[in-house]
């Protein structure tokens, strides 16, 4: 030990973290260091690096949870060691997962909410893949039973999130993506007839389209599939990708019929870590009734002790997010979710009104009727004198992350911007964003880059 270091007798030093050896060098990037270091110093250095990430409370691009109550942090800490796959070692965590499944099945009006099948996943991507696999299996069984070929499955959808493109590629299913019609914010029922056929394993309807934040009309999509069945005999099921809407619609739009009340809906996925308000790392899938999940997709794992059915792409997986989801459902109840999202929706509507009043924008989704969010495009692409990408960059100088991106096929020429209002982002913050947005528009429209005018400078 160097002479200037003072020991507390337990081998620890009282050095300031910024005067420890590790603080005097670049942190290792390519090799595991030979020696150990002071934990406080290492944690401080790593935390300092993390400060270079964006500030998540100003990240209005993400659907995911960026704020949680202290009790959630505590429960996550308590659950550090809970392995979701080890249902024999952690039977109460498994029980809590099961309670969440049945609560969600009931929330989404499953006719057998108390007994139906479902599970937690790492997010909606994994949940969607499980839903897609069940569709593929059931379609294949029916085709084989009818003595027909089952080698060319397809899945029909509108402007889906990338997880469905992954599902199609990973699991060898043709993705039939219906292009967006002019003025539409998602799949429109009358478009379906051209795309579904005897090889269609299902139609994906999205509750909360990633690009526009609007809901696709699930009941009308089902009615069109009913009409198609009446004409052709094809019986095509619907899986609802309710990644964000699954935790919003039941509270903000309880009369909207989009869930298991629609007979054709066989499964629903949602992200607990989006509007479910759980921390990152949890999604959910629920089947209408237990028999919609083919038995041979379920693995019975017994080597951890006990006979536990599992259906998942992952094996070991943390349990804290699931416990935190259970906490949030108990803590908020219907009343709490409704209040939180009514507040978010009011902020979104206020932002939509501000954006509309600024002049250069056309709202694509005005925060009314679907997610607490706003999306817009430039009213007249060429004449504003700036692009939405320029605006994104300007907002970034104030720390805001408001992405600009093109719409999916057939409307790719339309660039949009989107703001998601989530738990933990209050009215005041949204109004501060509106103010910065207006200032950025003024600067861009005036041809200035934001540098203050210097005396003697003339255009």
Position of minimal CB gap to ligand PLP = 123
* Exposed/middle/buried for residue 282 (C-beta within 10 Å: 0-12, 13-18, 19+): buried
Q: How far is the CB of 296 from ligand PLP (least distance, A)?
A: 25
Q: How far is the CB of 292 from ligand PLP (least distance, A)?
A: 20
Nearer to ligand PLP, 20 or 161 (CB): 161
Name every residue whose Cβ is closer than 8 Å to that of residue 71 and which is 6 or more positions away in sequence.
327, 331
Nearer to ligand PLP, 250 or 360 (CB): 250
Q: How far is the CB of 63 from ligand PLP (least distance, A)?
A: 5
The b-or-e profile of 175-199 (16+ CB within 10 A means b, else e) is bbbbebeeebbbbbbebbeebbebb
Nearer to ligand PLP, 208 or 237 (CB): 208
Q: How far is the CB of 166 from ligand PLP (least distance, A)?
A: 10
Q: How far is the CB of 45 from ligand PLP (least distance, A)?
A: 30
Alpha carbon distance 66, 55 (integer Å): 10
Q: How far is the CB of 189 from ligand PLP (least distance, A)?
A: 18
Q: How far is the CB of 121 from ligand PLP (least distance, A)?
A: 8
Q: How far is the CB of 371 from ligand PLP (least distance, A)?
A: 9
Nearer to ligand PLP, 212 or 347 (CB): 212
Nearer to ligand PLP, 224 or 241 (CB): 241
The b-or-e profile of 45-54 (16+ CB within 10 A means b, else e) is beeeeeeeee
Nearer to ligand PLP, 143 or 422 (CB): 422
Nearer to ligand PLP, 20 or 212 (CB): 212
Q: Name the packing angle between helices 70-78 and 320-357 (round to 10°).
A: 150
Structure tokens at 173: 């299913």
Q: How far is the CB of 163 from ligand PLP (least distance, A)?
A: 5
Q: What is the dihedral of CA 198, 229, 369, 284, to 10 degrees?
A: -50
Nearer to ligand PLP, 260 or 275 (CB): 275
Q: How far is the CB of 160 from ligand PLP (least distance, A)?
A: 7
Nearer to ligand PLP, 22 or 206 (CB): 206
Nearer to ligand PLP, 123 or 367 (CB): 123
Alpha carbon distance 273, 122 (integer Å): 9
Instruction: Tell which residue, 98, 153, 83, 60, has the closest CA to residue 404.
Output: 60
Instruction: Tell which residue, 405, 354, 404, 385, has the closest CA to residue 449.
Output: 385
Nearer to ligand PLP, 210 or 328 (CB): 210
Q: Which residues bind ligand PLP (CB under 6 A)?
A: 63, 123-125, 128, 161, 163, 206, 208, 210, 241, 243-244, 271, 283
Q: How far is the CB of 242 from ligand PLP (least distance, A)?
A: 8
């Amino acid at each position: 030990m160097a002479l200037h270091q003072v020991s507390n007798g337990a081998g620890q030093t009282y050095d300031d973290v910024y005067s420890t050896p590790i603080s005097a060098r670049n942190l290792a990037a390519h090799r595991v260091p030979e020696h150990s270091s002071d934990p406080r110093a290492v944690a401080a250095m790593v935390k300092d690096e993390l400060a270079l990430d964006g500030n998540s409370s100003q990240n209005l691009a993400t659907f995911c949870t960026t704020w949680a109550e202290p009790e959630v942090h505590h429960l996550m800490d308590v659950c550090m060691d809970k392995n979701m796959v080890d249902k024999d070692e952690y039977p109460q965590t498994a029980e809590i997962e099961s309670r969440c499944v049945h609560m969600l099945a009931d929330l989404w009006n499953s006719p057998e909410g108390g007994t139906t099948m479902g599970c937690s996943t790492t997010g909606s991507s994994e949940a969607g893949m499980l839903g897609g696999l069940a569709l593929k299996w059931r379609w294949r069984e029916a085709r084989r039973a009818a003595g027909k070929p089952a080698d060319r499955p397809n899945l029909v959808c509108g402007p889906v999130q990338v997880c469905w493109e992954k599902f199609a590629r990973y699991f060898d299913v043709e993705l039939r993506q219906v292009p967006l019609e002019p003025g539409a914010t998602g799949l429109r029922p009358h478009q379906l007839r051209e795309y579904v056929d005897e090889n269609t394993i299902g139609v994906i309807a999205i509750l909360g389209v990633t690009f526009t934040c609007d809901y696709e009309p699930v009941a009308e999509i089902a009615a069109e599939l009913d009409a198609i069945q009446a004409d052709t005999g094809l019986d095509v099921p619907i899986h609802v990708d309710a990644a964000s809407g699954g935790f919003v619609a039941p509270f903000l739009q309880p009369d909207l019929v989009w869930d298991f009340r629609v007979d054709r809906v066989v499964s629903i996925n949602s992200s607990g870590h989006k509007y479910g308000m759980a921390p990152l790392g949890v999604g959910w899938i629920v089947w209408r009734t237990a028999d919609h999940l083919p038995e041979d997709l379920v693995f019975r794992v017994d080597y951890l002790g006990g006979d536990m059915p599992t259906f998942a792409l992952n094996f070991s997986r943390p349990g804290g997010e699931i416990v935190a989801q259970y906490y949030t459902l108990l803590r908020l109840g219907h009343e709490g979710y409704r209040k939180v999202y009514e507040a978010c929706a009011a902020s979104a509507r206020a932002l939509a009104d501000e954006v509309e009043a600024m002049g250069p924008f056309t709202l694509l989704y005005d925060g009314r009727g679907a997610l607490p969010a706003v999306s817009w495009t430039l009213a007249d692409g060429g004449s504003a004198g700036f692009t939405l990408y320029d605006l994104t960059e300007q907002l970034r100088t104030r720390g805001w992350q408001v992405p600009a991106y093109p719409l999916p096929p057939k409307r790719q020429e339309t660039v949009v911007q989107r703001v998601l209002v989530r738990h933990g982002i209050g009215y005041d913050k949204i109004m501060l964003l509106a103010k910065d947005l207006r200032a950025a528009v003024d600067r861009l429209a005036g041809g200035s880059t934001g540098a203050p005018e210097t005396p003697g400078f003339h255009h």
